[in-house]
A = this chain, B = another copy of it.
């Protein structure tokens, strides 16, 4: 048994070599003498090993000429996935992201590809470059890109697909998958009779994704000639979006919100709004980003339904893997940015439909 196990290890080592250099069928294997010296075993062991590989169909033997590869090897692409560790911390506010990350991990399995999961802290540790060097491609969630990780990521030689960011990444040569809000926002503006509202308030978090979506509203509202729109950026870096929104709407209780439309570019603001204002009769019409209703965020509320922009996050995440596999398998493919269209979920919370 001891010899069998040793031979199995040698065979595994040879197979790994074939995979790594994507060895092609017909390739001649080094001579018994050379191979024995390389592997540090006797010629008898080498011959037994090669003969076993003939039996399993990896090699074929040509009498008096040597051993040849009977099939080609394709290395499975080694794909790192950074930003998926958050799936483990089950915060309710992260439910949408968690669901999308689960879909991504499921998609890895379906693609026959085992992800190398890296969390943010690993990416900034001293071991990061060594870990990255073993990868052909890296799937990068937007939050993992910052001043600490950028210099490390810039040295990565493989392909990168950045996902869930809504601006073009200027730091790295990479491909991207982002949600396309443009058509959904155009649909909302054309179907909702916005002039019926006294004023419209667009609230965005102070991050680049929030500001990018806010810009689409601003550009499309202005092209539509609408001038009853205000834009508000709320800093959510120190407090949760829920608390920040609760404070804002408590401070502005004197406004008759029922004659207004509020557009919140993060679903997490919504619970803050409905906590601050009387839900029956005191709330504005709301267009809520992130279709969180199905994720139990509104449990216990008497009117849980808000017209929402569903960003189809699981599709963004799984498309990112498809794109990365395509780029890793064909290195001649140029980087690109895929848009996954968001969709409008119309519910009774918005009154003025045309």
Contacts and interface: CB of A to CB of B under 8 A. Distances in A.
Contacts of A248: none
Query: How many copies of this chain are found per oligomer?
Result: 2
Which of A180, A216, A336: most chain B CB closer than 10 A?
A336
A167 interface: yes
Interface string A134-165: 00000000000001001100100000000000
Given A150-B223, A154-B186, A223-B154, A170 B216 contact: yes
A135 to B, nearest CB: 19
A337 B336 contact: yes
Contacts of A174: 182
Contacts of A335: 180, 339, 341
A171 B221 CA distance: 9
Counting chain A residues whose Cβ lies within 8 A of the other chain, the interface size class is 20 to 34
A219 B339 contact: no
A173 interface: yes
A251 interface: no
Given A154-B223, A335-B339, A337-B337, A186 B167 contact: no
A185 B341 CA distance: 31
A15 interface: no
Given A151-B224, A154-B186, A186-B154, A219 B170 contact: yes
B337 A223 contact: no
- Most B CB within 10 A of own CB, among A225, A339, A340: A339
B334 A336 contact: no
Given A170-B219, A171-B223, A174-B182, 15 more contacts: A151-B223, A170-B215, A170-B216, A170-B220, A171-B182, A171-B219, A171-B220, A173-B182, A334-B339, A334-B341, A335-B339, A335-B341, A336-B337, A336-B338, A336-B339
Q: Which 9 A-B pairs have the closest CB atoms?
A: A337-B337, A173-B183, A170-B216, A170-B219, A150-B223, A173-B182, A335-B339, A171-B219, A336-B338
